[in-house]
Amino acid sequence: MSTAPPGWSRRLTSRRLAPLVALLPLLLGGLLIGLLGTAERTVGPADELPAGSGVAEAAELADRLPDEAGSTAIVLWTAQEGQLGEEALGSLRELVSDLPGAGPQAAPVPSEDGTAALLPLELDAPTASDTSAAVEDLREQLAETAPDGVTAQVTGPAAIQADLAKVFEGADLTLLATTAAVVTILLVLTYRSPVLWLVPLVVVGVADRLAVVVATHVLELAGTAWNESTTGILSVLVFGAGTDYALLLISRYRDELKGEESRHLAMARALHRTAEAVLSSSTTVVVGVLTLLLSLTPSTRGLGLASAVGIVIAALMVMTALPAALVLFGRWIFWPRAPRLGDPTTVETARVWNAVGRLVGRRPVAVAVVSSLVLVALALPGLGIRTGLSQSEQFLDEPEAISASERLAESFPAGSAEPARVLSTADEADVLATVEGSSVVSSARTTASGDGVVQVDAVLDARPGTSEAREAVETLRQDIADEPSVAGSTFVSGSDASRIDERDGAARDRFVVFPLILLLVLGALVLLLRSIVAPLVLVVTVVATYLAALGASWVVFTRLLGFEALDVSTPLFAFLFLVALGVDYNIFLVTRAREEAPTHGTGPGVLRALSATGGVITSAGVLLAAVFATLGVLPLVVLAQLGVVIGIGVLLDTLLVRTVLVPSLVVLLGERFWWPRRVSGAAAPARHAR
């Protein structure tokens, strides 16, 4: 520990500059958070839709319709027992005129079985917030006026949009509070100190809020869309990655204090040694998430750009404010386990990791084979994965719009609750005739027109969300394409059409982004490690971790949680974050191994690195998995699925891949692991490390 750290790390942690370096980023961050605030999100008609798809084209046409076209809500009245009598139907006819969006001729339409009646309404709600407010007011009005023995519910596109928006009411605060609580508990358990955890939590907490503010303004300036879940995922990412970087720095600082009397010099050395690992890690994550800029979906591109901004801010804050803040305090900040000069280092006291290292060193082939077989066994269930969730399957807690839609399908044509919407610039009569002439359409009506655009709502025979409904949409699209008078200017949208196009867009994104992520991360590792073999090994093991996590998660989803499919975006997002974040822990291990190799040899060096980093990386992995699991506090299936896949993947990477598989491969490869670079100066055979 006698090596002199470089000047930049000594200056950052010096007695004179440390107070300024600690406070200035926090104060500037707080100032920006207070002055700027989160940028206002403007919702475009096709922000959630793949560019160039039929539903995106339809959304652009719908945006040209007059505001009074509004959004469709469907009121459903059902008899609590038996049928709706003539007296109840008469009462419903009287109250219809007072409902918003009801025309002078509006009247409830009774079902053939006599148990229900429905009424489509065009709400005057040009924006998403207007729609939510209008649906809420409508529900309150219906609850007050429903006749005795009759239940009133609201479904349809407007109600589904309103219920989805309700999911995110207070979501950022809930997610932030849950994430901060999880991080606090795990930091306290990790350090077993009543005070130390406060310092990294404050730094990472400021980094999180600053990341949200800066990222949303960057998105606004770039003209890139984002949605309600973007800031939630961003917070989880910043908290997880930022805390991981903090754990690595503090662990190294504690060890340096055991061999250096000056805490300023000890922190300078710790910062110097940690900075390379954090730079390598954050670079791979940034490179990885930026590949989302090639997605067809605007909001997915926004998530990629926001995540890159967040990781940069997290790394900068942890590498500047945190070391300077920690060095302001004496060794007592670690109380009651304050490190003393001459105490044994982590390598010497890590009994569990020393034992694991001895096992790997004695039997590297067996360890590599067994751990690889475990990953293969976990990955096999992934061969049966299905993607694509219906509207009702996207909520963990079923909202009124979904339950009403299912009840409506029992008494009316299956597609009444969620009609297919046909938007066209062709002649209205030709469009209506073509739609009505399709074999899959039960009924059709013109619901809006203006500025050369006509909208026709088509009730399909198939129940929304089913494979039959998707086939019906494909048939309708084909019927339109076969009619020269409307082909090329007419597009089908609606919930099932959206699912078809989102599925196709996600498949295209995976085809483009998957190999690009791997190539860019591999290239970043080659530049950072100045090696070819080491990056290949790390990338292959991370891909194996992803496949195993996906397979294991599929078992959890289908056998324990009752899901029948993954959301179309889950495989892509899980791959992105697991590859980018999974490489982190291997970088932490490998950079420490490279540090040990010149003295002890490559094989013994990686086993010493395992002993030195085993505890901190395991803590970081458990923390990151727990942080991503907090996405489950939001009642959206896609976020819950994402949290589970990433959580399982991070645990596999932390406890299996980085712990035994990578070290065993390094031991087997020896000096060739660093090829074409030469790192080791020791001649001892790799497998006699212990």
Q: What is the mean pLDDT of residues 19-47?
A: 86
Q: What are the angstrom distances between the C-alpha of 266 and each of 3, 10, 201?
A: 11, 9, 22
- Angle subtended at Cα 165 by Cα 67 and Cα 176, rounded to the nearest 5 degrees: 140
Q: 341 in helix, strand or coil?
A: coil
What is the residue whose two structure tokens read 């420490």? Answer: 592
| Token pair in block for residue 360 | 């790997």
- 687, pLDDT greater than 50: no
- Quote the mean pLDDT of the chain: 85
Q: What is the mean pLDDT of residues 528-553?
A: 91
Where is pLDDT greater, at 587 or 396?
A: 587
Nearest to 571 by CA among 494, 665, 503: 503
Q: What is the DSSP string of 368-382?
A: HHHHHHHHHHHHGGG
The pLDDT assigned to 126 comes to 67
| Token pair in block for residue 552 | 């294991």
Euclidean distance between CA atoms 96 and 99, whole angstroms: 5
pLDDT above 90 covers a percentage of the chain that reads 27
CB neighbours of residue 337 within 10 Å? 11
pLDDT above 70 covers a percentage of the chain that reads 94
Chain-centroid distance, C-alpha 215: 16
Contact 539, 522 (CB under 8 A): yes
Nearest to 525 by CA among 543, 537, 511: 537
- 684, pLDDT greater than 50: no
Strand order in the sheet with 116-123: 109-110, 116-123, 71-79, 150-155
| Token pair in block for residue 156 | 């349809």
User: CA-CA-CA-CA torsion for 43, 46, 50, 54, nearest 10 degrees?
Assistant: 160
If pLDDT is split at 50, 70 and 90, which confidence band does 344 have?
confident
The pLDDT assigned to 627 comes to 83
Where is pLDDT greater, at 207 or 184?
A: 207
- Angle subtended at Cα 476 by Cα 444 and Cα 509, rounded to the nearest 5 degrees: 125
If pLDDT is split at 50, 70 and 90, which confidence band does 69 have?
low
Q: Which residues on neighbouring strands pair with residue 566, listed in sequence order?
A: 387
The pLDDT assigned to 91 comes to 87
Phi and psi at residue 295, in whole multiples of 5°? -65, 150
If pLDDT is split at 50, 70 and 90, which confidence band does 5 have?
low
- 168, pLDDT greater than 80: no
Euclidean distance between CA atoms 310 and 308, whole angstroms: 5
- 258, pLDDT greater than 80: yes
Q: What are the angstrom distances between the C-alpha of 385 and each of 41, 499, 562, 563?
A: 34, 17, 14, 11
How does strand 453-460 pair with strand 441-450? antiparallel
What is the residue whose two structure tokens read 């750290």? Answer: 5
The pLDDT assigned to 689 comes to 39
Measured on CA atoms in the order 405, 409, 412, 415, is the torsion positive or negative? positive
The pLDDT assigned to 128 comes to 67
Tally of residues, the chain: 690
Task: Tell me whether the omega of the peptide bond preceding residue 604 falls within 30 degrees of 0, making it cis.
Answer: no
Euclidean distance between CA atoms 179 and 532, whole angstroms: 37
Euclidean distance between CA atoms 384 and 511, whole angstroms: 19
What region does 123 belong to: left with phi over 0, alpha with psi -120 to 50, or beta? beta
Task: List, for residues 400-446, the tens digit of each pLDDT value.
Answer: 888 888 888 888 876 776 788 899 999 999 999 999 999 999 888 88
Task: List, for residues 348-375, the tens digit of each pLDDT value.
Answer: 666 788 888 888 888 999 999 999 999 9
Euclidean distance between CA atoms 407 and 86, whole angstroms: 21
The one-letter amino acid at 679: V
The pLDDT assigned to 6 comes to 63
Q: What is the mean pLDDT of residues 38-55?
A: 83
The one-letter amino acid at 197: W
| Token pair in block for residue 452 | 């050369």
Task: List, for residues 621-675, the tens digit of each pLDDT value.
Answer: 888 888 888 887 777 788 888 888 998 998 998 889 888 899 999 899 888 888 8
Q: What are the angstrom distances between the C-alpha of 457 and each of 19, 102, 661?
A: 65, 17, 57
